[in-house]
Structures are given as structure tokens and as C-alpha cells.
Amino acid sequence: MHKIFAFFVAAVLTVLFSVSVFAAEIKIESAKYTGDGAVKVACSLTDGGSEQELTVIAYEADTDLTNTEAIKAESYKDIIHIDQITAEVKDGMLEFVFDPAAWIDRGKTYIVSVGGAGLNIDKMIISVDPDGKMTFIIGDTDGDDKVTAADAAYVLQKTLIESMELPIQLRSDDWFKYADVDGDGKLTAADAALILQKTLLESFSFSVQ
């Protein structure tokens, strides 16, 4: 009964969002599981006011799908959180925290969906491993669930500009272990070369795997 109700609520909200005229555009920049049961979400907002009403939905992804497929899919296992919140907007950014700890099973994959009246809907994957950390693929430095030449380019760029943030840094506090693929404790051009090698030879394994 709970799943049927949750599905109905999500379907209604999706329809409401889809017929809205988008006066502002929201994009989830990071969604981090903090390890103590909470999820912290940071979003950028274009053409918004000083406050923004949001509808936040978090649900377990269909485990038969890849992360990329799951974020596009309408199917899911169960809703673990749904709420209406008001977030303060500063310099085009807003942050909020929600706490679905009573429902989270570590090792599963969850999606956070954020939208609202006059807003688009944006989604982001949150994966929680047995240590309570977000999980990504080794070598995936932009967090798109695959290893590509773009990941190698990001690493190479960071070796040249240390202050540059990799996209994965916005999504995981443990970002370094996904970029340091040779496990030598530093980020170098060698890591970029190994990531590029992985894109050319799928059977290739990083030494840290």
C-alpha cells in the first residue's frame, strides 16, 4: 500500500512539474551522503529569488539499471523521502539537508529529485557503500558512471592547475581515490595516461582495483 501511495504522489508531482512554465532553472551541483544518516544537497538556481520553494523526492533506484539509465528512468523500488521545503538563495546557490536515515540501506543506489512550481526537475545519483560513503567507478573523475577520455583530460588539467576542482570533488569527499588510479598518493600525468589506457582497453585494470 505504501509503495502504491508513494508512486501516486510521485506521478502527480511529475505531472504538475511538467506543465509548469519554468520561470527559473535549478541544477543539482552535489548530493553527498554525510555518513551520519543525512544527505546534503547543493543546487544552482538561475533567475530565482531570495527564497525558493522546493519539492524534494529521494527514492531507491531500480538495481537492474546502470546509474545513467536509472537517472533517466521513471521506474524505481521505493520512495525513501518526500518533502516540501523553503531554501534560502545566496549568490545563485542554495543548500539543504534531509534525513532519510531510517530507510537507507547501505550498498544500494538512490536518486534525489528536486523541483518545484515554476522550476524544472533535476536528478542526481547518491550511492552508499558499506562504509557509508558515496561510491563511484575508479577513474571516473567527472561522476558520469563511466571512464572516458574526458576523465583523463580532467586529471591532466588538475596536474597543471592545482586549484581546479574535478567534477567528482563536488560529489564525494573521497574523490582522490577515484582519480589516483596508480595509488601512489599523488595526482600526476601518469594517472591521466592510465585512465586513457582504460578507455582504449576495457580489460585493463588499475593497480588500485
**Same domain, yes or no, for 89 and 177?**
no
Question: Is residue 137 domain-resident?
Answer: no
Q: What is the DSSP letter of 119?
A: B
Strand partners, 113: 57, 123
Say if 103 falls within a structural domain. Answer: yes
Tens-place pLDDT, residues 73-90: 777 878 888 999 999 999
Q: Are residues 37 and 102 in the same domain?
A: yes
Please indicate, yes or no, whether residues 20 and 118 belong to a single structural domain of this protein: yes
pTM: predicted TM-score of the whole model, two decimal places: 0.55
- In tens, the pLDDT along 51-79 reads 899 999 998 887 677 767 777 777 787 88
Residues 72 and 123 in one domain: yes
**Which residue's C-alpha cell is 544537497?**
41
Q: 56 is in which domain, residue-wise?
A: 2-127
Task: Quickly list DSSP for 28-93.
Answer: EEEEEE-SSS-EEEEEEEES--SEEEEEEEEEEE-TTS-HHHHHH-S-EEEEEEEEEEEEE-BTTE
Residue 26 C-alpha cell reads as 535549478
Report residue 8 as a C-alpha cell: 501516486
Q: Does any domain span residue 208? A: no
